[in-house]
Amino acid sequence: MDIHTFFLLLSLLSMLTPSSSLTLVPHHLCEQSLEKQRCVSHVSELLTSNDDVQNLTVLHSFLMESTSHIHKAMYKSNSIKQWSKNMNILKNTTPTSRDQVAFFDCEKLLELSMHRLGDSMMALRSNSNSTRIPLESQHDAHTWLSSVLSYHVTCLEGLEGLTTRAFIEADLENLISRAKTSLDMFVAIFPPKEKDYEEALVIDEFPSWVASEDRKLLESSSSVKDVIKPNVVVAKDGSGNFKTASEAVVSAPNNAQRRFIILVKKGTYVEQVNIGKTKSNLMLVGEGMDTTIIAGSLNNKDGQPISISGTISSDDPGLILKDLCIQNTAGAQKDQAVALRANEDRTVVYRCRIEGFQDTLYAQAQRQFYRECIIAGTVDFIFGDASTVIQNSKIIARRPINGQSNIVTAQKRSYPKENTGTSIQHCDIIPSPELGPVIGRIKTYLGRPWGSFSRTVVMESFIDKHVDPAGWQVWSSDEDPMVKTKTLYYGEYENKGPGADVSRRVKWSGFHVITNRADAFNFTVGRLINGRAWLPSTGVPFDVGL
């Protein structure tokens, strides 16, 4: 669906008035806002009186109005990109300048934002027989509205240092402001509910958003060819349908409602695999994380930012990756070099090896689940603003270049009403063989705050001796690195191993030694990514609770 058709459908959607039994004086929607004046100003744009108005009516109207602001920013971004391209032609320089890449990425993020706003409006529509929005729909909408804010922030940050940024900066700052207001209103209407967490403490099930047929595919532990019936096969020797994974992805149908399976046979495939948002419900399965290798080497030092350097980059809703090795082989000296960029909802990565150095795994946005994987890197090697749960995996710190420390996570939550965060549960956080001999000289930390409200929890895991006793690190390039230590949420719960001693951890107000089981449950599959609603259908085993 092109963006103009999508915008027309949103316009038609706005003609349908949502029903709700919840009513507040609309300004009360902003009572808990971090920036109350901004929120009230936005809500006031929609009102003609001080009468009580149905909350969902106000939120829907505001989201619909926001789509027109995004559409305007998209048009301006495209105009700037074309102008920049024409200027490059006149100057006889390459048309693939940093401006071109940045605005291309920005347009893509803005378009994704349009779709997520539309999805949120649909999720929050109550049917004619009930005024209650199901909890699953609430969680969906909260996730998607959080991603809209993340996309706008990422778009603006991607233009840093460009002279053309000035032409669109005000538009993007307005979008960021509106995205925060939408989250303020959502949380006011649907405040977090403290459910009986014990009901979800079930071991080795699948989250409920995993379809039964996907569950069978993921549960299979015998020979791939005996269990999985692929739609197409990739083989280097020409014995399959394609010789590269990229060709196979292109062949997949757009907007598929059923799972499309690509089997990648053993071998090393040197390529970049880009999976666009129209390639929904795709599954890439290899013949083992040590035998099916997809390797790339794009990196920031050579001019490819994190948005495009991923060996596998995905905007595919419902992506499943299984039994693959995904590498970025650029090396530690090439700075940011992404192996896997995952940017869509309900992503599952199972029994995969993800290897790089700085910025290995970019969990960009929305709900993601990693199980029985190996994730290896140096600086910020698990980063992004997704709601991410990593279970039963090995997280391996490698040897960085001289002068660097290892940082396992860099979570980017930028506003407290976002429902994003990184949870590491039942994992082994260990050093690589080459790091072992120099542990005394190279520090390793569990994380540092990329976003002002960064949120990361490590629980029920083994932490080896390479982790510094302080545990966590500030974002040193910030003007005042200590500011975020008051607004972040970092936690540790019932870990073990020589690096798990919390007695010498940082003394930040935002750091928590979690002792309450109910608090820890907020960072499980059942709560953080609402996995009970979608993971069972994938077939990947998971622990829904503690």
> 330-350: per-residue pLDDT in tens?
999 999 999 999 998 999 999
pLDDT at position 203, please?
40
Q: What average pLDDT score do residues 11-20 get?
A: 45
Overall average pLDDT of the 343-370 stretch: 97
Residue 509 pLDDT more than 60? yes
**Least confident segment among 23-37, 287-301, 374-388, 449-463:** 23-37
Q: What is the pLDDT of residue 99?
A: 80
Confidence of residue 22 (pLDDT cuts 50, 70, 90): very low
- For residue 14, give every residue at least 6 positions away whose Cβ sits within 8 Å of its Cβ, in sequence order, or none: 60, 61, 64
Return the bridge partners of 425, or none. Answer: 391, 459
Q: Which is higher by pLDDT, 57 or 301?
A: 301
Please tell me the distance from the alpha carbon of residue 382 to that of residue 393, in angstroms, as a whole number. Answer: 13
**Residue 91 predicted with pLDDT over 60:** no
* The two three-digit tokens of residue 534, written as one number: 């979608």
- Which residues fall within 8 angstroms of residue 114, CB to CB, at 6 or more apart? 3, 6, 7, 10, 67, 70, 71, 74
What is the mean predicted confidence (pLDDT) over 277-290? Answer: 95
Give the integer Cα–Cα distance in Å for 395 and 379: 13
Give percent of the chain with pLDDT exceeding 70.
Answer: 84
Mean pLDDT within 367-373: 97
Domain boundaries, the chain: 27-126+133-189, 229-538
pLDDT at 16: 47
Does residue 538 surpass a pLDDT of 80?
no
In this prediction, residue 196 carries a pLDDT of: 40
Mean pLDDT of 419-444: 96
* pLDDT of amino acid 343: 95
- The pLDDT value recorded for residue 527 is 83
Q: Are 27-126+133-189 and 229-538 the same fold in CATH?
A: no
Residue 101 pLDDT exceeds 50: yes
Reading the block at residue 381, the tokens are 């090697």
Q: What separation, in Å, do the N-terminal and C-terminal C-alpha atoms of the chain show?
A: 41
**pLDDT number for residue 17:** 44
Q: What is the pLDDT of residue 212?
A: 66
Helices first, then strands: H and E counts in the chain:
12, 28
Is the separation of the CB atoms in 339 and 374 below 8 Å?
A: no
Question: What does the pLDDT read at residue 226?
Answer: 53
Read off the pLDDT of residues 106-159 as tens digits, 9 standing for 90 and up: 999 999 999 999 999 999 986 433 358 888 899 999 999 999 999 999 999 999
Please confirm, yes or no, whether 380 is among the known catalytic residues: yes
Residue pLDDT, tens place only, 445-483: 999 999 999 999 999 999 999 999 999 999 998 999 999
Kindly list the distances between the CA atom of residue 376 and the CA atoms of 350, 392, 507, in Å, as whole numbers in the listed order. 15, 14, 28
Q: Which residue has the higher pLDDT, 343 or 192?
A: 343
Question: In whole angstroms, what is the distance from residue 327 CA to residue 337 CA?
Answer: 10
Q: Quick one: pLDDT band at residue 501, thresholds 50, 70, 90?
A: very high
Mean pLDDT of the chain: 87
Residue 87: band (very low, low, confident or very high) from pLDDT cuts 50, 70, 90: low
DSSP string, 364-376: -SSEEEEES-EEE
The CATH number corresponding to 27-126+133-189 among 1.20.140.40, 1.10.10.10, 3.30.2130.30, 3.20.20.100 equals 1.20.140.40
Reference 320, options 360, 265, 274, 280; nearest CA is 280
Average pLDDT estimate for 352-361:
98
What pLDDT does residue 530 have?
Answer: 83
Q: Is the pLDDT of residue 237 over 70?
A: yes
CATH 2.160.20.10 for domain 229-538: yes
Mean pLDDT of all residues in 349-378: 97
pTM of the model: 0.91
pLDDT value of residue 544: 81
For position 254, what pLDDT does the model report?
Answer: 94
- Name the token pair of 13: 């959607």
Query: Which region among 217-231, 348-362, 455-469 has the lowest average model confidence (pLDDT)?
Result: 217-231
Residue 135's pLDDT is: 87
Q: Which of 457, 464, 465, 469 is nearest to 494 (CA)?
A: 457
Angle (deg, nearest 10), helices 3-14 and 55-90 = 160
As a whole number, mean pLDDT of residues 57-71 equals 92
Residue-level pLDDT at 98: 78
Looking at per-residue pLDDT, the higher value among 97 and 460 belongs to: 460
pLDDT confidence tier of residue 78, bands split at 50, 70 and 90: confident
The reported pLDDT for the residue numbered 48 is 57
Q: Please pick, among 345, 359, 380, 543, the residue that the annotation labels catalytic.
A: 380
Q: In DSSP terms, which residues pair with 407 in a beta bridge?
A: 445
Q: Which of the four pLDDT bands, split at 50, 70 and 90, describes residue 228? A: confident
CA 446 to centroid of chain Cα atoms? 19
Which token pair is 98?
């940093």
Query: Is the pLDDT assigned to residue 172 strictly greater than 70?
Result: yes
